[in-house]
Structure 1
């Protein structure tokens, strides 16, 4: 097989294709293991007829929502495909490949999200049933975790396979084509995260406010019309949305590593970032299969042990791979596209840099797991303090939860910053190699993604299992205790995976920031200009006023995005509150248990509102970098990205951990502490949990794909900005016109969004349902 003609001068030999072939086989093995695990989950007992009836209702609602969401997103995908094809590229082949793999990335992201949702809706009744059997705790834990294992295997399998195919087909041009692959994955993930998050939290908030607070009935009481929608939401938000989110983290981190790797390590830098995640596939399989609960051991301890064992194996195998594949001198690297690397790094060892960088990523994942678990787990002081604050009312619960969020955001940001700085300082002689080290830290963290996805999916499956058990009334005694424990563990694992997803987003965004710099440099060289003589629009200095303006705008966009997402939940939840109240008011038999609530109507309202609301945050993410870049220049756009990464890191952790602390504080009270269920303390924690729902499951997680979408958009448009700013294509009127159009789109989207009611009281009780 002969390599194509390459712009960067990197050609693949027979040995290189053999390595890529092995990586592709490992990716296929992950998919096969995913199918095996899926069959094992589906072979478990499906529960009582009543459980199956409730499960079918949840599955039908989730499937209907995802199908409508994908039809809606198809419009965005087509438009972006056309725009992406119009952007400049080295040649027609690269342009076509970038656009086609944008579609493939989007399809893979949607596929993984849909798979996660569909299997979770089948697994939840099996977990509920397993809790009633002998050895129920171990069986229920295993089914829930292996359900997540299926999604994890498909995440790493499709992500690695897609990237490997691109490298095999395009070799040195692969990083440019992979920009499209990563962008497709990130764009779909962001929309699924936002839409699914709005759906699930609108239903959850509405169900809690009317059911728990006003009517005094349990969370998953079948008399509450919002219960089915709440369970549907867990699947479309936490399963489909988070699975797509972690897949795009996987894809985008690979994109950044390959872009920087070809510049820093040449051919070896193109292949080594694929070898490390391939090792992660093997360790993920081990991690899923060794997850077995021991006698007297909590499920969280079991899951954490599996994570640490798989991470340790990844560290050892990655170090061995670096010694076997990479040379011990930069002079022995093959064709680094940055010609200054060899001279700048003389005397340094690529093997050591790669090993330490990968280890930093793995250690970062372990540190985030511990830190997030501490701030959101029921066994630790922060959540216990939030629970105690419920004795003095809802206000103190909210204040203490906010305090936990702020404090945890600081420590998490410092840990992530230490990892980034540690990786960066591995190569002080070359900023290109230093940025590649940051990207390699990201690939190190990727070795744990298979287990991370399993941990995340465990949460909503356990939550749904408890809900189905309560609604069916077929689980009693020890089974109830088992499902209650698994639900609390699931809250912690979801919070942990959100923390790790945030860390992945920061590493990927930082690496993409370096890719953005590389894209600007190349474009300026092609235009025969330099950043010095091209004008202030190309100044990257932090102390430059225009760059500082970009920093402020970037931070502001994160706040605007978060506000839009939370406000969307507020509006949608308002409609749910009025609908559930209406049904209780007009059908007294519902409370008596003689009339079945109209579950489908609430599902329809959530679907309508979530799909209507997801457009504005999505348009903001895509067009804000375009407006800043074409309007102010690539220097301010660099500042914009820096501001977004900094504020996004803190905001995402704050929102996720505040919400997680409020949720588990409620669990503490419901377990009998501080007065137990029905007490004033319980009502206070329910209100806190209600505030935290859109924090931790809508706005917070949506920031992860937001950062990567904005970085990828910036990388993609950088050559066009340079082209219209300097050289033969310079046209200030056209450049400013593009910026104004982008700004107008953002303003119009926000205005339309704000015109919708932000007050629950303004929502008519008989709001039409489409």
Structure 2
């Protein structure tokens, strides 16, 4: 049994203090942001409408998700384990979910107040530098909160539960991941339904600008940026932080005992110091590009993270593995220096973040060859724009996956062939990558804040031409930073999922050791096949196929949901233009609230299906086929997930910035046929990059965590000593029925809406013809 010494408890307590300090810094940064000028009365009025819509949506979403949280909280008590662990894991689940929701709400609530301040700053001398600083420090508040709450939760669990902390933290990570997935899906559906609806009717049919106040969907579009990009991404990165910590603590304890439990906390505590450095040194100098200033801040912070993590490793760890108290037998004779190996693993994680940052920028940036190629294809129509964007997405997925795979191979080489150490080092590489999470969150939040600021400026008409150009430049920078942070989030998800995959293997090993029949693991026949990890086994290959298929199904459901919701928005905006001709002349104010209500209703209604699929699929596979096929399922989901997420994110990013290239005057400029073609491409890309793609990240971690939680129960019900095949099959059938039933209901609802949409469209066409 692992026992924690006094020195380790003191270190963990100090890390808890660092977490609190990070939250204090977040409060200070928040006050600085809110101290900025809020602009004209018209700007404030528009900002208030966005604030009210975003708050109303998230409040309704949290009420809906509270039901899921209560159900999962109760189900966690059915899993194997001691009473103390069960209670701790269930309570930690609520804290993880609560922290994830809090981070998302904080990201939204500050972003909707910062956007008007950025718009106001653009009108002043030096507006570029001031606006960029306000937007970046808004993200800095969220970034420091991610670091603070993540560290506080993990350190608190370790201090309270000590040896049982890894098992309890499974609940913390699961709560964070589950809420993040729901917020990603719900916010993504909201934002892209509004965005697609606004573009199709406003820009394509009516020929008015993107944020023209005459478009009834503009307020909903701006609300969506905040509930999708700010709240959703903040929750996503928080759960990546929490899940990576959980996996590293589990694997570290198995490999290095007490020091393996504390070391990941030390490395992530370094991230708190790095976040402060990155946020405060990121300043735009004169007329330099905002992207250049942000990249400089990221790379300086990343370098500091590597150095500080190496210092922590050399101070905390001994020179040999044999000298580590509680080291596993496998590693006791390892010839390497644990201090050097840990430092290099962290370096690999940080280098991975930097390379992904550059690679994603290359495939999606406005000055890069791939995106300019997509823009150039607009001369031959929308079809070639869509085809070229898909091509860019596919190619970028291969390069990104290759870089991630190379990083994992590098970590494996450091381990000297030890699988246990290799998995722990993968988790540490993830911790190393996440030392920059404070800056990464700031980069991501920069995008929607600057986008909203441009929308407020255009709707209010209170910003001069010079200020409008400043906001256009900041918005272009924001598009790139959003794409870049999506790439880094994907890399983080893969490292976290790989580490969780190792934790799953460890959980199965421990469960097998506890089975009284010593021959259970080697049993022959069907039971033996269900317990077999060999990839050559047909039943394991079935798991691999099902894992990949689940990612495709999840992505398809998310895109379908956006399609249905966007259709409702199109009909509503068309109705308002038709029934109120004064909207186009500026005499009648559009009914913004109706569009916000439609987005809210449809996005919350579509939440259940993908969420139930993510939770039920691994349960059905695990209890139905066994732990071996479930391992294959996770492998298939991870492999397919990384390719799918990168493809969706980068193709969407390329389409978005190709549109901006044309809008800047190339290939005919605004209003040309080329512009209309890129608008179609961007519209196709919206649900790719902002709904389905980002939601894949928490999906693969939710499925890994569910598998980790159920693994002991699957072993107990499958192994001969405790076999209960009727119960096992019953659980699998119920789980499959829940997922299948949700999908069938979604299809039925879609069919009803298509019939209603056809009737509505026919009525609209008849009304238009009569006029």
Distance 1:407 1:322 in 2: 38
The reply to whether residue 684 of structure 1 matches residue 674 of structure 2 is no
Q: What is the CA–CA distance in structure 2 between the aligned matches of 1:761 and 1:326, rounded to whole Å?
A: 66
State TM-score, norm by structure 1. Answer: 0.97
State how far apart, in whole Å, the 2-side matches of 1:323 and 1:762 are.
66
User: Which of residues 738, 741, 754 is equivalent to 1:748?
Assistant: 741
| Residue of structure 2 in register with 1:296 after alignment | 287
Shift of 1:377: 0.6
Query: Are 1:523 and 2:511 matched, yes or no?
Result: yes
Counterpart of 1:611 in structure 2 is 604
The within-5 A match list for 1:296-695 is 296-336=287-327, 338-343=328-333, 345=334, 347-528=335-516, 529=518, 530-533=520-523, 535-695=528-688
Q: Residue 363 of structure 2 contacts residue 392 of structure 2 at CA under 8 Å; is this kept in 1?
A: yes
- Report how far residue 727 of structure 1 moved: 4.6
Query: What secondary structure is seen at the aligned counterpart in 2 of 1:340?
Result: helix
Matching residue of 2:767: none
User: How far off is 1:265 after superposition?
Assistant: 1.2
1:762 positional shift: 4.6
2 CA distance for matches of 1:409 and 1:250?
23
Q: Does 1:189 align with 2:177?
A: no
Deviations 1:696-734 (CA, angstroms, capped at 9, x unpaired): 000000000000000000000000001111254311111
Q: Distance in 2 between matches of 1:615 and 1:680?
A: 40
Counterpart Cα distance in 1 of 2:477 and 2:391? 22
Question: Are 2:15 and 1:23 equivalent residues in the alignment?
Answer: yes
Runs of 4 or more, structure 1, over 6 Å off, are: 758-761
**CA–CA distance in structure 2, aligned partners of residues 382 and 762 of structure 1:** 41
Question: Is it true that 1:123 corresponds to 2:123 in the alignment?
Answer: no
CA contact (8 A) 2:426 2:498 kept: yes
Tell whether 2:188 aligns with 1:200.
no
Measured in 2, the distance between the counterparts of 1:757 and 1:507 equals: 36
Question: Following the alignment from structure 1 to structure 2, what is the Cα–Cα distance between the partners of residues 482 and 75?
Answer: 44
- What stretches of structure 2 of length at least 5 have no aligned partner? 763-771
Q: Is the 8 A contact 2:322 2:331 kept in 1?
A: no
Helix, strand or coil: the match of 1:412? helix
Which of 44, 53, 65 is 2:45 aligned to?
A: 53
Judge conservation of contact 1:31–1:154 (CA < 8 Å) in 2.
yes
Answer whether contact 1:358 1:445 (CA < 8 A) is retained.
Answer: yes
Q: Give CA-to-partner distance per residue, 1:579-608, whole Å, 9 cap, x none.
A: 000000000001110000000000000000
Contact 1:574–1:760 (8 Å) recurs in 2 = no
Residue 769 of structure 2 is matched in structure 1 by none
Residues 497-554 of structure 1 deviation map (CA, whole Å, 9 limit, x = unaligned)? 0000000000000000000000000001100345323611011111110000000000
How far 1:425 sits from its partner (Å)? 2.0
Deviations 1:647-694 (A, max 9, x none): 000000000000000001111111111111111111000000000000
SS in 1 for 2:66: helix
- How many angstroms apart in 2 are the aligned matches of 1:398 and 1:738? 43
**How far apart are 1:761 and its partner, in Å?**
7.5
- Answer yes or no: is the 8 Å Cα contact 1:575–1:765 preserved in 2: no
The structural deviation recorded for 1:96 is 0.5
- Report the count of equivalent residues: 755
| Structure 1 counterpart of 2:65, from 59, 73, 78 | 73
SS at match of 2:521: coil
* Rounded Cα–Cα distance in structure 2 between residues aligned with 1:492 and 1:205: 20
Pick aligned residue for 1:142 from 120, 126, 133: 133
Indicate which of 227, 231, 238 corresponds to 2:222: 231
Distance in 2 (CA, whole Å) between partners of 1:429 and 1:580 is: 61
Summarize the alignment of residues 77-226 of structure 1 with structure 2, pairs less than 5 Å apart.
77-89=69-81, 91-226=82-217
Q: How far has the Cα of 1:476 moved from its partner?
A: 1.3
Q: 2:211 touches 2:458 (CA, 8 Å); kept in 1?
A: yes
Rounded Cα–Cα distance in structure 1 between residues aligned with 2:601 and 2:32: 35
1:760 Cα deviation from its structure 2 partner: 6.2
Output one character per residue of 1:155-211: Cα deviation in whole Å (capped at 9) or x when no partner: 010001100001111112111000000000000000000000000000000000000
Is this contact kept in 1: 2:220–2:599, CA < 8 A?
Answer: yes
Deviation at 1:474, TM superposition (A): 0.4
The answer as to whether partners of 2:530 and 2:629 remain within 8 angstroms in 1 is: yes
Q: Deviations over 1:618-663 (max 9, x none)?
A: 0000000000000000000000000000000000000000000000
**Cα offset, 1:302, TM superposition:** 0.4
Describe the SS at the equivalent of 1:751: helix
Q: Secondary structure at the match of 2:45?
A: helix
Q: Secondary structure at the match of 2:108?
A: helix
8 Å CA contact retained: 1:423, 1:434: yes
Report deviation, 1:335: 1.2
- Gapped runs of 5+ residues in structure 1? 1-8
Provide the rounded CA distance (Å) in 1 between the counterparts of 2:417 and 2:674: 58
Structure 1: how far apart are the matches of 2:413 and 2:733? 40
Partner of 2:283, secondary structure, is: coil
Give 1:428 deviation, angstroms: 3.0
CA contact (8 A) 2:521 2:719 kept: no
Q: Is the 8 A contact 1:41 1:123 kept in 2?
A: yes
Looking at structure 1, the residues matched to 63 and 409 of structure 2 have their Cα atoms a distance apart, in angstroms, of 42
**SS of equivalent to 2:329:** coil
Is the 1:582–1:765 Cα contact (8 Å) retained in structure 2? no
Q: Does structure 1 conserve the Cα–Cα contact (< 8 Å) formed by 2:51 and 2:223? A: yes
Distance 1:193 1:766 in 2: 31
Conserved 8 A contact 1:211-1:219: yes
SS at structure 2 position matched to 1:541: coil
Rounded to whole Å, the distance in 1 between the matches of 2:722 and 2:586 is 72
- Which secondary structure state, in structure 2, belongs to the residue aligned with residue 447 of structure 1? helix
Choose from 704, 709, 720 the match for 2:697.
704
